[in-house]
């Protein structure tokens, strides 16, 4: 990237705090995704570990609150400072959309605790594979979001990885639902499991949508 491009994209120059807050915000979303993965593994592999599950759910809730706090601070800064209007809007939309990933995972974790779906062991690996692939989607997305502020030329590489991983998640989702609906489970049990499969996959779908928008934001900045 040449010097002119660098200056054009230094949208947050002169304020270390907001740059640090954005980094911490992305770290918090990453941590939350890791915790959600742990929550699912505990639920599947340690059904009697309710205390461990509750501790992890509490941690996820604390991370969600922390992310909200950081998001509000970042938004306040962007509203108060004089930035190019469309640039400010793009960054605000990105931050809000990324924040929604934690809310989706937290809501799903609470649903696991309340609804206690019975997931036969034969489907455990499918659930875990889906969660891991979703986690990859979020990781690639966060790398792209960081690149938007640091080296915009790298954004497209990361967002392409999100799209590829999301297609893998869709295939795992489809295969898992196919296996479940061809099993001997009761119809109501199949429908219940489908809900949780689709809610896990929703995180990957959201990550792809955000990646698509992030690609557009970066192209606008490079014009």
Residue 4 inside a domain? The answer is no
Query: What CATH number does residue 106 fall under?
Result: 1.20.58.220
Residue 29 inside a domain? The answer is yes
Residue 3 inside a domain? The answer is no
pLDDT in tens, 74-91: 988 887 765 566 678 888
pLDDT in tens, 202-217: 999 999 999 999 999 9
Mean pLDDT of 185-194: 98
Three-state secondary structure readout of 152-175: HHHHHHHHHHHHHHHHHHHHHHHH
Write the DSSP symbol of residue 81: S
What residue numbers bound the domain in which 40 lies?
15-222
Q: Total structural domains in the chain?
A: 1
Residue 137 inside a domain? The answer is yes
Residue 7 inside a domain? The answer is no
Residue 26 inside a domain? The answer is yes
Write the DSSP symbol of residue 10: -
> Are the beta carbons of 73 and 99 closer than 8 angstroms?
no
Residue 209 inside a domain? The answer is yes
Q: CA 126 to CA 137: how far, in whole Å? A: 17
pLDDT in tens, 99-112: 999 999 999 999 99
- To the nearest 10 degrees (0 to 180), the angle between helices 155-181 and 187-222 is 170
What's the pTM value of the predicted model, to 2 decimals? 0.91
């Amino acid at each position: 990237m040449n010097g002119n491009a660098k200056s054009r994209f230094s949208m947050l120059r002169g304020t270390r705090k907001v740059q640090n807050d954005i980094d911490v915000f992305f770290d918090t979303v990453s941590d939350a995704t890791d915790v959600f993965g742990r929550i699912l593994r505990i639920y599947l592999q340690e059904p009697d570990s309710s205390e461990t599950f509750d501790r992890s759910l509490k941690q996820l809730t604390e991370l969600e609150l922390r992310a909200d706090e950081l998001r509000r601070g970042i938004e306040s800064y962007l509203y108060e400072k004089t930035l190019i209007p469309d640039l400010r809007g793009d960054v605000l939309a990105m931050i809000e959309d990324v924040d929604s990933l934690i809310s989706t995972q937290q809501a799903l974790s609470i649903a696991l605790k309340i609804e206690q779906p019975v997931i036969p062991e034969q489907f455990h690996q499918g659930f875990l594979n889906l969660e891991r692939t979703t986690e990859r989607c979020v990781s690639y997305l966060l790398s792209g979001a960081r690149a938007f502020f640091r080296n915009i030329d790298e954004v497209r590489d990361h967002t392409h990885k999100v799209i590829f991983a999301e297609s893998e998640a869709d295939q795992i989702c489809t295969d898992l639902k196919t296996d479940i609906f061809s099993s001997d489970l009761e119809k109501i049990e199949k429908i219940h499991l489908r809900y949780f499969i689709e809610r896990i996959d929703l995180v990957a779908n959201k990550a792809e949508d955000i990646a698509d928008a992030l690609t557009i934001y970066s192209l606008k900045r490079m014009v």
